[in-house]
Structure 1
Amino acid sequence: MADPVSITGLVLQVGVLLKQLVEYGTAVKGAQGEIGRLRTELYAVKGVLRDLETAQEDAGKRPLKRELSETFTTAATVLGELARKLDGTKQSRIKSLVWPFDKPECNEILGKLERVKTWLMLYSMGEQQAGIGLLKDNLQDLTITVQEDIADRGARLQLDEQQAISRILASPPSEAVHTKACSAWQGVSPGAWFLDGHLRSWLSDAHPPSNMLLLSGLSGSGKTILMSRAAEWAPSLNPSSTNLLIARHYCLYNDEKSQKVTQILGSLVAQLAQHTPSILDHLDPKPTAEKQPEAAQLETCIATAAADGQVVLLVDALNESMDRNAIWQSLAGIAASCANMRIIVSSTPGVSDILDDNATCLQVNMAVDRSTPDMAVFVDQHIAHSKVLQRLPSEEVRDALLKKANGSFRWLELQMQYVAAQPTARRAMRALQSTPATLDAAYAAVLSRVPTESREMVKEALAWVAFASESLTLLELNEAVVIEDDQVDIDNTYRLVPPDVLLKLCHGFLDCSPTTSVVTFAHESVSTFLRVTTSGDNDDAYWHLDMDIWSRCIVRKCLTYLLMKPFQQDITTLGELRHLDATYPLMHFASTRWICDVQRGGKLDTAELDLVKRFFMVYRSSRTEEYIGPFGYRIHETPSSDDDSLDIELHLWRRFQLFEVTFSWLGVVSYEPESSILSEEDAFEKLKSSHGLSQVLYLLMRERPPDHALEAGHLAHAPSPASPRVFYKCVSARMATRLYRRP
C-alpha cells in the first residue's frame, strides 16, 4: 500500500477524489460550477505531482528535503479533509447524494488547493533561494491555518457530541412537570416555612450533619410545588456565585422510565453538563438511545461537577419508583463522597425502608400547621375569582375548608372547584358544610356526580389514561372512547363535540397539557384511588379499574379500530399513510402500540384472538383485484423491481409490527417498541440467529395458526430465506396465497 504522504499516495488520493466528484456531478443539481472548479484544481495538482515524480526518478532515489516533506504532509491533510466531506453523504444510494459544501466552504478548500499547487510548482521549477524562502513562509502560514481549522472543527465536533449525549440523558417529561409546578405558584411565595426555616440554614452550613434532606408529606400535600419552588429559590442565597449548580428530577407515576435509577441520574447529569460539559468525558462508551450508561459512571459525572463548587440536587416523588432503594443508595453514596453536594429528596411517609439504620439524614415533615398559611392564601385566591364565594363571609369559607383539609392541597382544590361551581351563595354554603372527610371520599363524591349516560364513557377514558402503554393526546383519547365492539366504520358522526367535552365530563380527574395535548391524571393520587381494590355492589366498586381486564380491552379496541373500513384501502405511498394518520387520530397508537398492551394484559381471550386473526387476514376479493386486507397495503405475488414500491412495503411491515407480534408470541424475541427503529437487515439477522424465520414461515403457511403453537411456542422448522428482502417477499406471498382463502 502506498504511503499516503508521498507522491504516489497523493496521486492515488487525487484520483479517488476526481472519481467521487464525477459521481456528485451526475447526481447533484445546482453545484456543477463548484464541482467543475474543484476538478480543475485537482487535475492541476495531479499534473504537478506527476512532474515532481518524473524529476525524482531522473535524479535517483534520495531523501526528500524537509520543506518538500512538510508540503506533502499539508497536501495530504487538505485532500483528506476534502475526502471526509465527500464521504460523509455517501451512506445511501447515489440518487440521494447531497452536495456537502456551501459556497464559503468550497472557496476555502479551493484556496488551500491553490496554495498547495503553487508550492509544488515552485519545487518543480527548481530550488531557487527566493522561491524556497517564499515557500517556507507560505507553508508555515498554511500549516498554522490547517492546524487551527482542525482544532476548531474538533472543538465543534466535541460540543455537538456533548449536546447529543445530553439530549439522550435528558428527561423531557420531568422538565414538563417542573414547568407546570412552577406555573402553579407564580405570583405567590409558598413554602416560606421550609425555604427560610430549614433550607436556608442547611444550604448555608459548610459542614451540616448530613448532606441529604428528606422532605416527607402525604399524597396531595404539595411536595412537588415545594420542590419546584426550592429549585428556583436556591440561587437567591448567593446571587453573585457562579459556582452553584442546581439539577432536579421528578419521578412520574405514569412514566416507568422516569422512575429508574439510570434515568434519574442521567437527567441530573444532563442538566449539570449544561454548565460543565467536561463531566461527560467520564461516560465510556458514549451512551446511545438504545444503551444507557451505567449508574456508576453517572455517579462519577455528578461527583466531578461538585469539584469546583456547590451542587444541589432535587429528586421529587421517590415513593413513585419501584427502584427507590437503589435510587436512595446511589444518592446517599454521592452525598457522602462530596462535601459540596446537597441532595433533597421528597416522598410520602410510607417509605422509611429506604433509610439504613446507620444512615444520617435531615428529615423534614410537612405537618398540617406548616402548610396552613399557604392554604389560606390558596383559598383567598379562589374567593377573589368567584362571584358566588364573594357573597359569603371569606373568613367563614376559609375556616370551613382549612378545618377539614388536613394538609392536603389536592383535597382543597377539589372542594374549591365544587363549591365555586354552585349557582348560588346559599348552595355554596350547603356544599361547604357537607364536604367529604378524606381525599378518597372526595374522589368518590366527584365520580358520583357523573351523569348516568356518561358514566361508561368516563370510566373508559380513565382506564385508557391509567393503562395505555403510551400516553394519549386529547384527540386520540376522544377517538378511543367512542369505539364499540363490532364497529366497522368511523367518521365525524361518531366523534365527540366539542373536543374538550371529555375533560369536563371527568370533573377535574384529567389534565391536558397546553403544549403537547397529552392527557394525564391531574394528580397521581387519582390513579391510586382508581386502582384500589373494592368489593360489593356499591358505587365505588363500579369505578375500580383492573389492569388485566382493561389492557385486554385496549387491545380489543385497537384491533377493532384497525379493522374498520378506512384502513382496508390500498396504501401505495408514505404520503397516503401520513394522510390516514392525520385523518384518524388513533391510527398511530393503535397500529404501533397494541402489542405492548397484549404483553401488559396477559393471555388474550377468544374475542381478542379472533380479532388478531382477522387483523392478519389478507385476501383477494376477485380475480381482477389486488390482494387487500387489514394491513392496508398491496401485496405483490412476485418480487417487484420497483424500489419505491419495495420501500413502502417494508415500511408498512415494520409499521404494523407483524414480525414483533409474531415472534413475541413464539417467545423468540422479547418485543420492545424501540425495536421498530432497527433496519430491515438488522432485524432480519437478529431474528435469523434465533431460528425465528423458519418458525414464522411455518406459522404463516398454515391454513390457520395453531392455538397450541401460539401457547407453547414450539413449531416445526421450514427453510429460512437468505436475505431480508427475500424473506419479506416470501412471507407476503405466502400470506396472500396460503394463509387465508377468499372470505
Structure 2
Amino acid sequence: MNNTCGLGYLSWVAEVALPVSRQQQLGNPLVAKVGGKKAYDLHLADPLSISASIAGLVALADLIFRSGTKYVKSYRGASTEVGNLNRENRSLSVILHNLSLVAFDLEETEPPEPTAAVHEPSSVLQPHHLHDCHQLLRRLETGLSRTEASLDSGSECQRLYARLKWPFTSTESKEMIQDVQRYNQIIHTALAADSLAMLKHCLSRQDEIKNGLDKINLTAERILDIQVKISLDAKRNQVLRDFGRVNPRGEYETNRKLRQGLTGLWLTQGPDFDFWYSTPDSRLWCSGIPGAGKSVLAVAMIEECLQRNAQDTRKAVACFFCTYKNESSQHSTTILSSLCMQLAMQSESAFQILQEYHDQLFSGRDLSARPTAKTLAQKLHLICACFTRNYIIVDGLDECDHRVAANVECLAKLSLLQGYDVINMALSSRDEIIIRQHLKNDFPHVEIEAHTEDLQLYFASELSERIASKQLRLRDQSLKDLIMTRLVGEAKGMFRWVACQLDYMCELPTDRARREALSKLPPSLYATYDRILLRIGGYDDTVKRLVKKAILMLATSFVSLSFEEICEAISLEEDATTLEDDEIVEEEELLRWCSSLVRVGKSGSFNGGKTRIQFAHFTVKEYLRSLKTRDSDHEYPQLKEYAVSHEDGIDFFSFLCLRFLTMEDIERFPPTRDTTRAISCILAQHRRRTFYEPSVLTWAAYATTSKMGDRTRKLLRKLLHPSETPAFCLWAIDIIFCHHPSSIEASSESIKILSQVIAAVLRPESTPLHMAAAFSMPDACQELLEGGSDVLACSKFGTPLHCALGGRGFFYNFLDLRDNDILSEGPITDRRNFHVGHVARL
C-alpha cells in the first residue's frame, strides 16, 4: 500500500473548498503537477458527472411520455388534464435532453479549477431540483406502468377498465402539471449557465450556503496548515506510514465513480440519516442484499458528512472499507489504525496522542512491536475526545471472511463504551445473522433493498449511455422501455444483477434474442454467473485456459497486479521456454471473454496509476469458490472446472513466478563479474517483461513446499539448484537491487556499495541456501539441505544461520561499513564494527 495514505485522506476535506492555486500557495505537496494534472485529485463533486444523471432522467421522461401517449390514444375521452400533463411531460423530456447536452459540454470544456465568477465549492451544491423532478417522474411512472399493463392485458374487461381509470385524480393531475411547468422554468434558467458551477447552482436550492463560504474557506486553510506541517516533518510522516498501511482512498474512489449524482439522496436527506448525524452518540446500520449498492451509499454518507462539517473544525470524519480484494483490510487492528490516523490528521492535539503511542511502540529495542486492537481502541477514544463529534463510517464488514464477528464486536464496543458521547458510528454490510446478533439492539437498521429509485435512475442512465455509444443497437425503440421496466422490476434492488443483464443484452445480436432473454431472466446472481461460464465453455480450449488462469490469479488477493502483468503471466504456456510479444493475449479480448465477471479500474497515483483488472463484485469470488462444493447432480456440474480456492491461487501464482524466473529468455542475460553491466541487464529485463518484477519480489513470501503442486516444486528446485544457475544469480541480483533504496537514489557512492554487496552474493562460497535462509524460506532450505547443501558454508555474510537470523535486511545493514571494502576482508560477521544489533541477535 502507498505510504502517503494519511496525506491523501486529508486532501478529501481540504480540496472541498480551496482551488488548486490556493493549495499550491500554501505548499500543499499533494497537488504537485504530474503530467499537467494533480497527483491527488479527489474533489467531492459528483464523480460520474451530472450529465450522466440527467441522461437517466431523460430516459425516464421518455418512457412516461410514451406510456401517456399510449393511454391518450387508447381512450378518446381522456380528460383535458391528461392531455395537458402529457404535453408538459414531452416538453420536460426535450428540455432535460438539452440540459444533458449543456452539462456534458461544460464538463468536457471547463478547466478543473473553479471559475472566479462563482465561488461555491461544487461539493456543497446538490442538484435538489433534479432530485425532486426525479421523484415526480417516478410517481408518474409507477401509476402509468400499472395502467399500461392493463391496456396490454388479454382480458377485454381489464383493457376497458384501464381506459376508463386514469391513475391520478383531477386535482393530482393539475398539481403535477404545475410541478412539471416549474421544473421546466428552472431548467430553462439552468440552460443559460456558462460554467458547471453556475449550472449546479441553478439546480440547487441551497442559496443559504453562500453566507457561509468564507468560513468554509478558512476551515480548509486551517486543515491545510496542519497537513503542510505534518508533510514537512519526517517523524510525523513515519507515524502516518506505520498507522496507515491500508489506505481507504482506493475503495473510496472506486465506489465514488460508480455513484450517479442523484443516487443516495433518499438516505442522506432522509430522517434516518438526519437523526444519526445530529444526535450525539448515535448509531446506524445499513444493510442490503449482495449487489444492492451498499458501498456506493457509504460514499454518499461520507461526502454528506464532509459537506455538513465544512464549517466546523471541531467535527471530524473517518472511514474505512473492508474488502475481499485486500486481506490486510480485514483485520481489526488495520481498521482501528486507519481510523486513528485519519482523525489524528485533523487535529494537532489528536496527532500528539497518536505520536506518543507510536513512540511507545517503536522507540524500544523490539522492532517487531505491533499495536493491539484493545490498545488502539483506547487511543481512538482519546483521539475522538479532541473533537465535539466524530463521524465514523465502516463499510464491507461481511467481506472480512472468518474475522466478521470479531470486527463487528470490536466496532460495536468502540461505539457503545465511549465515555464522551462524541462518536457517531455507521456500519454497512449484508444482513447476516452473525452481524445482526451484534447490532440488532443498539444500531437502528436501514434496509437498502426497499429503495429502488436509485436503481431505476442508474439503469436509465446506463441504458441511454449504451445506446448512445452503439454498444446496444435496437431496431425497435419500444424495446428500450421494455428492457428498462422489465429489468428494474425483476432486480429486487440488486444493482449488480441489473448491470449483468444489461451487459448480456449488449452481447445479443438481435431484438428478438433480447425479447427472448427478457422472458428467461436468471433468478439470481449465481444463475447469472452460470450463464456467463456456460458461454465461456463454448469457446475453444485456448480461450478457456486463459480465462481459467485469469480467474485463478484474480482470486488470489495477496498481491496486486496490473492488467498488463496478468495478461503477460497467463499467456505463458506450460511447456513454453520463451514468451514473445505476439503470444501475449490482448487486454480487450480477455475483457470480452470474461464479460460481467470482471471490471477494469484505473486508480490514482497512490498505486502508480496502473490499469487494473479485478472481479466486478465480491459475489463473483464467492460464486467461484462455491463451485468447489457443487454437487454432481447440479444442473451444470461441468462448471466445477472453474472453481477457485486460496490455496490453488497461491500455488498457481508461485508456479507462474517460477516459470518466469527460469524460462530461457530470462537466462539470456547472465550475470558477469562486471556488476555495472549485470545491473544494466536487470534494468533491460524489467523493461522487457512487466511480470518479471512481481516474480522476483513476491513469490518467495508464499513458497511453502508442503502446499505446492509437483510442477511448482520442480521449478523451485530448478531455481535454487546448489550449482547457482544463471537464473538464480539473476534473481539474487535483482531481489537485492529492488529491495534497497540505493536502486532509487542512484548516487555513485550508494551504487558502489550496492555493487559490492551483489558481487559478494555472487561469489562461489555464497550459496542458494544463504539466500533462502535470509529471505525466510524454510521449506526451500529443507529442500536444499536434503539436496546436499552445506549448512556450515561461510560466505562474506557468514553461514546460512547468520543469514536466517539477520533476515532480508541482513545485506543492507552492511552498507554502513562505508570505510571498508566488503570484498577485501573475511566474513563481515567477524569484524569488530559489525552492526551491534545483529551481534546481539546472533
Q: What residue in structure 2 maps to residue 120 of structure 1?
A: none
Distance (whole Å) between structure 2 residues aligned to residue 475 and residue 357 of structure 1: 43
Kept after mapping to 1: 8 A contact 2:459/2:484: yes
Matches of 1:595 and 1:312 in 2, distance apart?
41
3-state DSSP of counterpart to 1:493 = helix
Distance across 1 between alignment mates of 2:515 and 2:296: 29
Change (3 A) 1:468 1:327: closer
Shift in CA distance, 275/462, structure 1 to aligned 2, threshold 3 Å: same
Residue number in structure 2 paired with 1:167: 241
Amino acid at match of 2:314: N
Q: Name the CA shift for 1:393/1:616 in 2 (closer, same or farther; >3 Å).
A: closer
TM-score by length of structure 2 reads 0.56
CA distance in 1, matches of 2:647, 2:413: 39
Cα distance in 2 for partners of 1:528, 1:618 equals: 42
Q: How does 1:547-566 map onto structure 2 within 5 Å? A: 547-566=646-665
Q: Do the aligned partners of 1:262 and 1:292 also contact (CA within 8 Å) in 2? A: no
- Equivalent AA in structure 1 for residue 392 of structure 2: L
Identity between Structure 1 and Structure 2 (%): 20
CA distance in structure 2 between the aligned counterparts of 1:407 and 1:602, rounded to whole angstroms: 45
Deviates more, 1:166-175 or 1:607-616: 166-175
For residues 570 and 254 of structure 1, do their structure 2 counterparts lie closer, same or farther at Cα, with a shift above 3 Å needed? same
Match of 1:311 in 2: 390
Task: Give the distance between the partners of 1:682 and 1:441, measured in 2 at CA.
Answer: 61
Please state if 1:535 is matched with 2:639.
no
1:632 — aligned with what? 730
Give the deviation of 1:470 after TM superposition: 0.7
Are residues 1:256 and 2:327 paired? yes
Counterpart of 1:164, as a letter, is Q
SS of equivalent residue, structure 2 residue 313? coil
Q: What is the CA–CA distance in structure 2 between the aligned matches of 1:445 and 1:398, rounded to whole Å?
A: 21
Counterpart of 2:54 in structure 1 is: none
Instruction: Tell me whether 1:491 sits opposite 2:584 in the alignment.
Output: no
Determine the C-alpha separation between the residues in 2 that align with 1:189 and 1:605.
48
Q: What RMSD, in angstroms, separates the aligned Cα atoms of the two structures?
A: 3.7
The equivalent of 2:680 in structure 1 is 575
Deviations 1:43-96 (A, max 9, x none): xxxxxxxxxxxxxxxxxxxxxxxxxxxxxxxxxxxxxxxxxxxxxxxxxxxxxx
Report the CA distance shift for 1:435/1:596 in structure 2 as closer, same or farther (over 3 A). farther
Please say if residues 600 and 611 of structure 2, whose CA atoms lie closer than 8 Å, have aligned partners that are also in contact. Answer: yes
Aligned residues of 1:212 and 1:332 also touching (Cα < 8 A): no
Call closer, same or farther: CA 1:502–1:395 in 2, change over 3 Å. Answer: closer
Aligned counterpart for 1:402 among listed residues 460, 480, 488: 488
Matching of residues 399-548 of structure 1 within 5 Å: 399-450=485-536, 451-453=538-540, 454-467=543-556, 469-496=558-585, 498-514=586-602, 515-532=609-626, 533-536=629-632, 538-548=637-647
The one-character-per-residue Cα deviations of 1:431-461 (angstroms, maximum 9, x if unpaired) are: 2222211000001111222252211110110
Which residue matches 1:302? 380
Change over 3 Å in CA distance of 1:256–1:550 after alignment to 2: closer
1:475/1:499 contact within 8 Å kept:
yes
Tell me if structure 2 keeps the 8 A contact 1:618–1:628: no
Deviation of 1:527 (Å): 0.6
1:364 is aligned to: 446
Residues 178, 550 of structure 1: alpha-carbon distance in 2 compared, 3 angstrom cutoff: closer
Aligned twin of 2:253: 179
Aligned to 2:461: 381
Which residue of structure 2 aligns with residue 50 of structure 1?
A: none
Matched AA of 1:614:
K
Aligned 8 A contact 2:385 2:422 in 1: yes
Counterparts of residues 125-274 of structure 1 (less than 5 Å): 159-171=233-245, 173-193=247-267, 195-206=269-280, 211-237=282-308, 239-274=310-345
Question: Which one-letter code corresponds to 1:507 in the other structure?
Answer: S
Equivalent in the alignment of 1:584: 689
Normalised by the size of structure 1, how large is the TM-score? 0.63
- Partner deviation per Cα, 1:361-419 (whole Å, 9 max, x = no partner): 222222x332x111111121123223335813544322211232122110011111211
Conserved 8 A contact 1:375-1:402: yes
Contact kept in structure 1, 2:286 and 2:427, CA below 8 Å: yes
Letter in 1 for 2:242: I
Say if 2:757 is the partner of 1:658: no
Deviations 1:589-611 (A, max 9, x none): 22222233433x84334333222
Q: Which whole-Å CA distance do the structure 2 matches of 1:463 and 1:646 have between them?
A: 40
Cα offset, 1:186, TM superposition: 4.1
Paired residue for 2:743? none
Change (3 A) 1:162 1:547: closer
What amino acid sits opposite 2:446 in the alignment? V
Question: How much has 1:664 moved relative to structure 2?
Answer: 1.8
> Distance between the aligned counterparts of 2:732 and 2:638, measured in 1?
50
Following TM superposition, by how much is the alpha carbon of 1:201 offset from its aligned partner in structure 2, in angstroms?
1.7
Equivalent residue runs for 1:675-714 within 5 Å: 687-688=801-802
For residues 459 and 302 of structure 2, the distance between their equivalents in structure 1, rounded to whole angstroms, comes to 25
- Deviations along 1:317-376, one digit per CA (max 9) or x if unpaired, are 11112333332333233323131210111111124357449952222222x332x11111
Cα-to-partner distance string for 1:245-282 (whole Å, 9 max, x where unaligned) = 11110001021111111111111122212211432333
Residues 282 and 297 in structure 1, CA contact (< 8 A), matched pair in contact too: no
Aligned-partner Cα distance in 2 for 1:404–1:687: 64
CA 1:239–1:281: 2 relative to 1, 3 Å: closer
**Which string of whole-angstrom CA distances, capped at 9 and with x for unpartnered residues, describes residues 642-690 of structure 1?**
956432346789999633567421789xxxxxxxxxxx99997994397
After superposition, the Cα gap between the structure-2 partners of 1:433 and 1:157, relative to the gap in structure 1 and judged at 3 Å, is closer
In structure 2, C-alpha distance between the alignment counterparts of 1:345 and 1:565, rounded to whole Å: 52
Residues 237 and 660 from structure 1, CA distance in 2 versus in 1: closer, same or farther, beyond 3 angstroms? Answer: same
Deviation track 1:212-256 (CA, whole Å, cap 9, x = no partner) reads 222121121111001011100124446533322111100010211
C-alpha spacing 1:429/1:491, structure 2 compared with 1 (3 Å): same
Q: Given the superposition, is the C-alpha separation of residues 526 and 290 from structure 1 closer, same or farther in structure 2, using an over 3 Å criterion? A: farther
Instruction: State the SS of the aligned residue for 2:596.
Output: coil
Q: Which runs of 5+ in 2 are unaligned?
A: 1-228, 468-472, 603-608, 734-751, 783-793, 808-825, 832-842
What's the secondary structure of 2:453's corresponding residue?
Answer: helix
Matches within 5 A, 1:663-678: 663-665=777-779
The question of whether the paired residues in 1 share the 8 Å contact of 2:384 and 2:423 is answered with no
Q: Is the contact between residue 309 and residue 316 of structure 2 (CA under 8 Å) also seen in structure 1?
A: no
Q: Hey, what does 2:757 align to over in structure 1?
A: 647
* CA distance in 1: counterparts of 2:719 and 2:379, whole angstroms: 49
* Larger RCO, structures 1/2 (Cα 8 Å, 6+ apart): 2
Secondary structure, aligned partner of 1:188: coil
Counterpart of 2:680, as a letter, is G
Measured in 1, the distance between the counterparts of 2:659 and 2:237 equals: 43
Equivalent residue pairs, number = 517
Distance 1:657 1:539 in 2: 44
Instruction: Evaluate the alpha carbon distance shift between residue 280 and residue 298 of structure 1 in structure 2; reply closer, same or farther with a 3 A threshold.
Output: farther
